[in-house]
Amino acid sequence: MVRGVYLEKREPEDNIHRFYEIDVDKDLFGVWCVARRWGRIGTRGRRLVESFDQVREAESEAGRALRAKSKRGYRAVETVS
């Protein structure tokens, strides 16, 4: 299960300092959600939450997003508990 994965992309020569965070969890109503947060390191960033009926759908979407970010040069920094 994807739990609080935090990625960063740093390219100082091009002034790129970005983060991307993704988490899969249930909301208060028992609906599976994929929460994403992204932006420039040091800022609050933007946030998007998508709802899914099944945990496998949420996990699939989170995995797809993580693979896409990895291809763009983002690297895992830490896992948020």
Helix (H, G, I), strand (E, B) or coil at 63: helix
Domain boundaries, given as residue ranges, for the chain: 5-79
- What pTM value is reported for the model? 0.87
Reported as a pLDDT band with limits 50, 70 and 90, residue 4 is confident
Distance (Å, rounded) from C-alpha 70 to C-alpha 81?
Answer: 21
Task: Specify the CATH number of the domain 5-79.
Answer: 2.20.140.10
pLDDT digits (tens, 9 = 90+) for 23-71: 999 999 999 999 999 999 999 999 999 999 999 999 999 999 999 999 9
Residue 23 backbone zone (phi > 0: left; psi -120 to 50: alpha; other: beta): beta
Which residues make beta-bridge pairs with 16? 11
Q: Which strands sit side by side in the sheet containing 46-52, from one edge to the other?
A: 46-52, 32-40, 16-26, 5-11, 75-79
What pLDDT is stored for residue 2 in this prediction? Answer: 72
